[in-house]
Amino acid sequence: MSEEPRVAVVGAGIVGLCTAYALLERGVEVRVYEQGVPGNGQSGGSSRIFRHAHDDPRLIAATQESRDLYDRWGQELEVEMVSGDGAVAIGPAVESKLPLLQEAGVAARRIDAGELAAVQPLLAPYDGPAMLDERGGSIRTTAVVDALVAPLGDRLVRDEVLSVRPVADEVEVRSSGSTHRYDRVAVCAGRGTAHLARTLGLALPVQDGAHVRLTFAVRGEPPQRLATLQDSSGVFGETGVYAAAVPGNAEYAVGLSQTTRARDDASLPDPDELADLAGRAAAYVRRALPGLDPEPVDVRHCWVTTLPWGEDGVGVWERDGVLFPAGHNLWKQAPALGTRMAGGLVAQTLHPDLHPSARLGRG
């Protein structure tokens, strides 16, 4: 690090890493605090879905920005960040989502049963509404995290931040092993963000939930092309299923978008609910994805943080020179969100869509 940074980022999940990379792109020195292993919080595990489909046209536009950034950063860092296999959606949601995508100029189109079987060969026969988002695909999560951590070098400090507070016209960050002051700070601490915000008297309307996703082995040869899947059809017994491929297409991660709500103290009202969700995901695989061996080979349990205005809701709160982003399904939003926050940290003005009152991503 050439000079003492004037900006800090708390948290090296995908949002913090994208914010830090966007700051470095602007020639801004930054320090990144991470209490654990980078990319092992909500951002952990292999693969995520990159899709453009959203109910809110503003979020479609932000996702288009993110897709271009994943491509450009991937070239700069010489790593594939999103697979080129596409994102498939089946079920009634296609009818409302496809027109919005086409209006936004996203390369998305209706596909028939034959083409569906070609891009999603694991799925049982299905002839209802189906669409393909050609620039959607599986996010290479581990490769992305490693690629964004590498340029940070000693700017990344393994330390837990206990408080952020304004001191004169600066922001003081107290972490387990140090106290530093900055001009601006972004708290991208996932589930830890609301806690640090409350220290400054800011109550973020975030609902914590616990979530489970299972990974299954592909039967036989891994397919050349394996699109991600969202199933709202109910034809196979569930209406909120998502799935993405692990690099190499030999494994497929499947989950129900439902989460089990957590109490404020992080305890779970119903201890059986996570097991029920896992059981339902495995039962769905037996019915819908004959191309998979129904015995799970891996599991991911993690917290999710959802805003009241929608599962894809995202917003950034601001107080005393500190930015507090919050929301869910942020892997696909992170490059644009991080870039817009970097702009807000440098220019002191945040993109208007990110203001909480804009309710970005509302359903």
What residue ranges bind ligand FAD (CB under 6 A)? 10-16, 33-36, 40-43, 48-49, 160-161, 188-190, 192, 211, 213, 242, 244, 255, 300, 302, 304, 328-332
Selection from 23, 10, 67, 60 nearest residue 314 by Cα: 60
Rounded to a whole number of angstroms, the minimum distance from the CB of residue 296 to ligand FAD is 13
Q: Of the two residues 114 and 201, which places its CB atom closer to ligand FAD in the complex?
A: 201
Rounded to a whole number of angstroms, the minimum distance from the CB of residue 36 to ligand FAD is 4
Q: What is the C-alpha separation between 96 and 280, in angstroms, rounded?
A: 26
Bridge partners (DSSP) listed for residue 314: 327
Q: Of the two residues 41 and 296, which places its CB atom closer to ligand FAD in the complex?
A: 41
Q: Of the two residues 14 and 62, which places its CB atom closer to ligand FAD in the complex?
A: 14
Q: Of the two residues 33 and 236, which places its CB atom closer to ligand FAD in the complex?
A: 33
Q: Of the two residues 14 and 59, which places its CB atom closer to ligand FAD in the complex?
A: 14
Q: Of the two residues 280 and 300, which places its CB atom closer to ligand FAD in the complex?
A: 300
Rounded to a whole number of angstroms, the minimum distance from the CB of residue 53 to ligand FAD is 11
Q: Of the two residues 160 and 170, which places its CB atom closer to ligand FAD in the complex?
A: 160
Q: What is the C-alpha separation between 260 and 333, in angstroms, rounded?
A: 23
Q: Of the two residues 36 and 113, which places its CB atom closer to ligand FAD in the complex?
A: 36
For residue 113, CA distances in Å to 130, 242, 362 come to 8, 19, 31
For residue 6, CA distances in Å to 187, 240, 295, 339 come to 15, 43, 50, 17
Rounded to a whole number of angstroms, the minimum distance from the CB of residue 29 to ligand FAD is 19
Q: Of the two residues 181 and 300, which places its CB atom closer to ligand FAD in the complex?
A: 300
Rounded to a whole number of angstroms, the minimum distance from the CB of residue 183 to ligand FAD is 19
When CB distances to ligand FAD are compared, the closest residue is 13
Rounded to a whole number of angstroms, the minimum distance from the CB of residue 41 to ligand FAD is 3
Rounded to a whole number of angstroms, the minimum distance from the CB of residue 11 to ligand FAD is 3
